[in-house]
Structure 1
Amino acid sequence: MSIQLTHQYLDLGQAFSRPVLPESFPEPKLLLWNTDLADELAISVTASERAQVFSGQLLASGSRPVAMAYSGHQFGQFNPQLGDGRAHLLGEHESANGQLVDIHLKGSGRTPFSRNGDGKCGIRPAVREYLMSEAMHALGVPTCRTLAVVSTGETVFREQPVPGAVVTRTAESHIRVGTFEHFAARNQPAELSTLVDFCISRHDFDTPESGPEKYLRFFSQVIDKQIKLLINWMRVGFIHGVMNTDNCLISGHTIDYGPCAMLGVYDPQTVYSSIDHQGRYAFGNQPAITHWNLARLAECLLPLIADDQDQAVHLIMPYIEGFSDRYNQAYRQMMAHKLGFNTADEEVSSCADELLKLMHANQMDYTHTMTALLDPDKDKSLSALNAWLSSWQQLLHKWNINKEHSVQQMKANNPLVIPRNHHVERILKQVEENGDLNELKTFLKVLKSPYQTSKHISQYQDLPTDQDQNYQTYCGT
């Protein structure tokens, strides 16, 4: 077995985590193994050991499993005591390029943070996490990735009995805004300072060694990472569904694929999550919620920036207030690239805004419409855009943009295939009900190259017949 783990997070101190072993399972069986990721991370585990190691039954050398402590704002309401209720951080592994990566089990049993939960995971949400995280990675969206899915051989009881499974998630770290909130709520500035130092070291933040500027620069770089993540979500039409502060990683990577979905018909108010009754986490609200989450992080950092709270607020407010301009500039640039432009001036941004208004008014599919623009004469679904198409093409001509360059720009930013909700649910149902992984593996091959035409791609590009009108997603706990 070529996997050697360290326990740096455990070493931060008792306040940060609770030592706890994964539960025993009757018959662990490997369902999915991510060969590409294993090679990238230089993880070599024999076929016979994989089910045991990645269900927590056999610990790798150096592993000292813990459940991580954190708090969080859930749908705007603060919960001071969350933590890993069904997950175990096995330790950190050094990848082939020297980067430390968390090896983290999900669905591996009860922990001190489980409250009334059983700490388990059903096979459907486990496979969903594998499928969606790999799709997002291929789309170029920063994300945690899944190394393995192991069935446990036991039944998990949710709305109905379902097979149990354990997911092995890898991440640059699992530090959340909610981790900072945990210590801020308990008035523990020493632990907050330790957490900042850990993040700076782990994620290569460029900050001074001390003083207020250290924390301001740290915060500014967290903003950059969140904007990059958010822009990519908006680019491909991803709806997270549960943007609580405990699901907001400092590293700027996507985490928690329970209630997530992909946008079909363009509507900024689209919500698929069954628990988001007020539309707080709708597609078009994601920028405002990211801003809100960052403001919660800023509040945690105040005692580190200055002893006087008013002075600390004065120093950090320009960063909070500057978020919208930073995001809007990045968003305009992203939309310009989707439409074949190199940069975004007012005319280009107005052109993009008008397209989105027309798509909304005419109930047009977000992904399909963008890819149809590559050859607009061939697609009848664009008939409602005739006047806009003329002005768009005139603007490209005005910018003197080479057609081939424009097409390549659009191809690089508009996926030909996404994990459409109706295909995801149909395939997950096959896995849950009869253990059939064949179509899942075909789907994963297609999703691996979302910007290129490939074998079988056409069977996953069709639009849902009901436009996802009654579609709902669930948290999977």
Structure 2
Amino acid sequence: MPLSPDYRPVPRFALLGDEYGDAVEAAKFPETILRFRNDRAAATVGLDTLTDDEWIAHFGRFDPLPGQPGPVAMRYHGHQFRTYNPDLGDGRGFLAAQLRERAQAASGRVASDSAEGRLLDLGTKGSGTTPWSRTADGRLTLKGGVREVLAAEMLEALGVPTSRAFSLIETGEALERGDEPSPTRSAVLVRLSHSHIRFGTFQRAAYFRRADMVETLVEHARALYHPEVAAGDVPGFLTAVVEASARLTARWVAAGFVHGVLNTDNLNVTGESFDYGPWRFLPSYEPGFTAAYFDQTGLYAFARQPEAVFWALTQLGGALKLVADAQPLTDALNGFGPAYIRHLRAAFLNRLGVKSLGEAADQRLLDSTLALLREGGEAMRWEPLFFDWFTGFASSARALSGPRAALYQSKTFADFRFALFDHEPDRPERLEAPMFAASEPEEMLIDEVETIWAAIAAGDDWSVFERKVERLRAAGSAWSLQGC
């Protein structure tokens, strides 16, 4: 089948040369069973016209797409739980393709190259060993792939800048894992992401004292992802990354999301989250809530995510000191705190479906929302609060007659409602969506994730998973949160 005219290959990373990545081959899998194809995402890059057989050829066997040079395992280093690791790199994945997003698909996004469409990557997870696999098998569990699809779909629905799970293909291998019942089923995942240039990509170049490589990476990332920054303006580039990272972190917090592993190789220059291993959504407000069982000190706990991202940004700034003066870089880093608070106010207004009333009033609403969530404890679940009071006054009757009406009685609630009703509803017609006639919102808590997986593991029943994806997309349409 001919590819859509919307398919536009732009393999820019390959132009950097072989010091930045290694040509690799995908594993040969015994089976390739298509479990999930994201035609909504595929349509934005002109790949929705592929037949299932063609899809499997490109995303299960990894026959190169037209105009693409073939798989490249990217080289990078990184701090893992603040310990530097120079032995990283794409160990079970590779960059499979780069292509332009349709310009109209980028409307409403924060992307300075949206006039011609953003440059996007198709990257893999579980596609086999590479020179950077060390002792690992280069594979992904099917459960891990299912979890990544669910995380990405939920985050997209909630307006968080996120990679999109593009394809999930079961590969017919029995994997041994120490942290889940084994043997377990295998899969290969493809994600559509706005850049895989990580903070750790710069760290690797700086580790080898390669100022020329750092300069090349800055210009590559500046021109492709932050072209509003002048050529050669390294502090300006860092400022743009700081701004994007602050916005992402604020959106995570407003979504009640815990990434789990905020190492410097898991943060990129475009401020879009990706690589969902251990992750959780908050059941209720709990600052110390962690997603990874191995995060025993709570380094990446919910409320410490801004601290973690800022620390990672300082490591990026340290790498850039090889090619720029320290003080302007420090000034750029010092912009994170104010940018984060500004974006956090905007994110909470977005979640509550109301318009800005100015910095002071917006801050009162943010503070009173967090106070109500804190006071409510386990009874005040995170997601239902935003669901109950979406668009403010317009939801008053619905919320006060709903299942959480008894929680909306205290002085803390009165302060919240006063602050909320000060703000004008933003597009209150969204309440006409069928979702708001229900008593409960769509959530993505761990018990439901396990239920979805149990149906697949026990009886190969994918219907529960498929219905959840459908409901998440309907919820995203109902919320219509701006700026995802």
Please report the TM-score for the alignment, with normalisation by the length of structure 1. Answer: 0.86
For the aligned residue pairs, the C-alpha RMSD in angstroms reads 2.6
CA distance in 1, matches of 2:118, 2:420: 42
CA distance in structure 2 between the partners assigned to 1:431 and 1:151 by the alignment: 12
Q: Which residue is equivalent to 2:112?
A: none
1:72 aligned onto 2:97: no
Question: Percent sequence identity over matched residues?
Answer: 28
Deviation digits for residues 16-65 of structure 1 (CA, Å, limit 9, x no counterpart): 01111111111212111111111111013222222222123533333321
What is residue 289 of structure 1 aligned with on the other side? 308
* Alpha-carbon distance in 1 for matches of 2:120, 2:365: 42
- Whether contact under 8 Å (2:177, 2:183) holds in the other structure is yes
Cα shift at 1:161: 0.7
Query: How far apart, in 2, do the equivalents of 1:268 and 1:258 lie?
Result: 20
Give the AA of the match of 2:387.
T
1:429 Cα shift?
Answer: 2.6
Aligned residue in 2 for 1:318: 331
* Cα displacement (A) at 1:380: 5.6
In the other structure, the counterpart of 2:60 is 55
Q: Is the 8 A contact 2:100 2:119 kept in 1?
A: yes
The 1:241–1:337 alpha-carbon spacing in structure 2 relative to 1, beyond 3 Å, is same
Q: Counterpart of 2:468 in structure 1: which amino acid?
A: F
Greater CA deviation, 28-37 or 320-329?
320-329
SS at match of 1:303: coil
Of 377, 381, 404, the residue aligned with 2:400 is 377
CA displacement at 1:337 relative to structure 2? 4.8
- TM-score (norm: length of structure 2): 0.84
SS in 1 for 2:447: helix
1:250-265 correspondence runs (5 A) = 250-265=269-284
For structure 1, the residue ranges without an aligned partner over 5 or more in a row are 306-311, 455-477
Q: Does the aligned pair in 1 maintain the 2:73–2:130 contact within 8 Å? A: yes
**For the residues of structure 1 that align with 2:216 and 2:366, how far apart are their CA atoms?**
44
Given candidates 409, 412, 415, the residue that maps to 1:391 is: 415
Q: 2-side partners of 1:4 and 1:206: how far apart?
A: 23
> Residue in 1 aligned with 2:111?
none
Query: What's the CA shift for 1:356?
Result: 2.1
- The correspondence of residues 66-465 of structure 1 with structure 2, limited to 5 A, is 66-97=72-103, 98-159=117-178, 160-210=182-232, 214-305=233-324, 312-338=325-351, 340=354, 342-346=356-360, 348-363=362-377, 364-373=380-389, 374-375=395-396, 376-379=399-402, 381-384=404-407, 385-395=409-419, 399=422, 401-402=423-424, 405=426, 416-450=441-475
Which shifted more, 11-20 or 357-366? 357-366
Say if 1:269 and 1:284, in contact at 8 Å, map to a contact too: yes
The one-letter amino acid paired with 2:386 is M
Structure 1 pair 368–22 and aligned structure 2 pair: CA distance change class (3 A): same
What displacement does 1:372 show? 2.4
Change (3 A) 1:330 1:95: closer
- Matched residue SS, 2:348: helix
- Given that 2:91 and 2:131 are in contact with CA atoms closer than 8 Å, whether structure 1 keeps it comes out as yes
Moved more, 327-336 or 377-386: 377-386
Distance 1:45 1:315, change over 3 A: same
Identify if the C-alpha distance between structure 1 residues 409 and 303 changes in structure 2 by more than 3 Å, giving closer, same or farther. farther
1:335 counterpart SS class = helix
Say how many residue pairs are matched.
Answer: 441
Instruction: Name the residue aligned to 2:15.
Output: 11
Find the counterpart in structure 1 of residue 29 from structure 2: 25
Q: 1:19 to 1:430 in 2, by over 3 A?
A: same
Offset of residue 359 of structure 1: 2.5
Match of 1:87, SS? coil
Contact preservation (8 Å) 2:243, 2:336: no
Letter in 1 for 2:412: W
CA contact (8 A) 1:28 1:52 kept: no
Deviations 1:145-202 (A, max 9, x none): 1221111122222131111111011112100001111111111111111111111122
* TM-aligned CA distance change 1:409 to 1:391, over 3 Å: farther
Q: CA deviation at 1:142?
A: 0.8
Q: Would the alpha carbon gap of residues 6 and 321 (structure 1) be closer, same or farther in structure 2, given more than 3 Å must change? A: closer
* Runs (5+) with no aligned partner, structure 2: 104-116, 390-394, 480-484
Return the alpha-carbon distance in structure 2 between the equivalents of residues 81 and 122 of structure 1: 23
Shift of 1:405: 4.9
